[in-house]
């Protein structure tokens, strides 16, 4: 009998709302190396209606991943409305996903490479509170990204920059948020917990204010499924220590899918157990797919909960993943031991083709 116990394999992807998924794919492919399209899907988004003005909408989505490993970017675009940008520039500590954290093999090399590509920088190379080197940039839609040196890799061949390995999330009550992320998401190891002014933030929007920052990871390594590809991950929670009204929800008075980082998604096993656990702990699922749901050539079950500030966290139980799409060769994950990582040849086959969209 297969194990029916909650497993979190890792961060599957970070959702990115955009007005042009193909152009956004080009940016993340050419600048950050996420050039593999795992799926490309165009259909009617119905389940997320509560976060889209109460109506379903036509959309397209691309899941782009990096051959070196890490999480992906789900590039999400409305096809029947123009997505809204934030009325004001995102400030550090605004409630929601402030930025994605992208891993680098050599931080100086990543910095030099992106300078040559003409990417817009928000900082020089800095040292974070954990002693790691990092720098900050923004994409073509003014989404902030942090590139940071990191040691967990699926491969180190062919590039210097991998996929995301976490994100920075603005919160209003650090203790309440810690209970959510440490308990339900099992980020139970604190790398640092500091308050004050931070040199590495000083060049960012409102980066000279006082903050409390808590960087989380986990004691028990993730295992099974795509855990080797997704790699280790970290989540940083950041709380502005000024007046609470100075920080707003990033998607206040806007739709999910509008410009910005729209959700953080985890690849999991046994979604049913998570549904029950989240209900019991006071974080009921706000959206839950009705049985198996196709995502282009991939399929799975999925659902969303809100963290204490309303940031959307997605859980995805993947059932089928295309390996060689044109031969209709897929892997069915239902029949596998969920604690056993997928063999390298399967992951390599999935990552084999480079899918750069030209126009």
Domain boundaries, the chain: 7-350
Q: What is the pLDDT of residue 297?
A: 46
CATH homologous superfamily for 7-350? 2,3-Dihydroxybiphenyl 1,2-Dioxygenase, domain 1 (3.10.180.10)
Whether pTM exceeds 0.85: yes
pLDDT tens over the chain, length 359 residues? 345 688 999 999 999 999 999 999 999 999 999 999 988 889 999 999 999 999 999 999 999 999 999 999 999 999 999 999 999 999 999 999 999 999 999 999 999 999 999 999 999 999 999 999 999 999 999 999 999 999 999 999 888 999 999 999 999 999 999 999 999 999 999 999 999 999 999 999 999 999 999 999 999 999 988 999 999 999 999 999 987 667 899 999 999 999 999 999 999 999 999 999 999 999 999 999 875 555 444 567 899 999 999 999 999 998 776 665 555 566 777 777 888 888 888 888 878 755 544 43
Q: Contact, 152 vs 231, CB < 8 A?
A: yes
Tell me the per-residue pLDDT of 222-278, one tens digit each, with 9 for 90 and over. 998 899 999 999 999 999 998 766 789 999 999 999 999 999 999 999 999 999 999
């Amino acid at each position: 009998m297969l194990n029916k116990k909650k497993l979190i394999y890792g961060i599957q992807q970070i959702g990115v709302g955009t007005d042009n998924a193909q152009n956004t794919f080009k940016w993340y492919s050419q600048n950050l190396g996420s050039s593999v399209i795992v799926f490309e899907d165009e259909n009617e988004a119905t389940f997320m209606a509560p976060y889209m003005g109460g109506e379903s909408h036509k959309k397209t989505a691309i899941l782009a991943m990096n051959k070196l490993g890490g999480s992906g970017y789900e590039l999400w675009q409305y096809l029947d409305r123009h997505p809204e940008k934030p009325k004001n520039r995102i400030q550090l500590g605004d409630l929601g996903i402030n930025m994605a954290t992208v891993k680098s093999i050599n931080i100086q090399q990543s910095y030099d490479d992106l300078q040559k590509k003409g990417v817009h920088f928000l900082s020089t190379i800095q040292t974070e509170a954990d002693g790691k080197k990092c720098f900050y940039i923004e994409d073509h839609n003014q989404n902030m990204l942090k590139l940071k040196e990191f040691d967990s890799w699926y491969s180190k061949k062919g590039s210097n920059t991998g996929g995301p390995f976490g994100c920075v999330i603005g919160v209003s009550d650090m203790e309440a948020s810690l209970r959510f992320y440490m308990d339900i998401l099992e980020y139970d190891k604190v790398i640092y917990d500091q308050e004050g002014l931070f040199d590495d933030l000083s060049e960012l929007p409102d980066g000279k204010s006082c903050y409390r920052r808590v960087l989380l990871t986990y004691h028990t390594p993730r295992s099974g499924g795509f855990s080797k590809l997704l790699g280790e991950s970290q989540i940083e929670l950041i709380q502005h220590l000024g007046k609470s009204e100075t920080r707003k929800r990033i998607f206040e008075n806007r739709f999910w899918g509008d410009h910005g980082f729209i959700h953080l998604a985890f690849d999991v096993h046994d979604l049913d157990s998570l549904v029950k656990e989240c209900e019991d702990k006071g974080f009921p699922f706000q959206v839950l797919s009705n049985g198996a749901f196709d995502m282009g050539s991939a399929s799975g079950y999925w659902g969303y909960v809100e963290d204490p500030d309303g940031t959307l966290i997605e859980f995805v139980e993947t059932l089928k993943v295309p390996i060689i799409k044109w031969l209709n060769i897929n892997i069915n994950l239902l029949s596998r031991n969920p604690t056993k990582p997928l063999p390298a040849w399967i992951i390599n086959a999935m990552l084999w083709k480079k899918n750069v969209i030209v126009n």
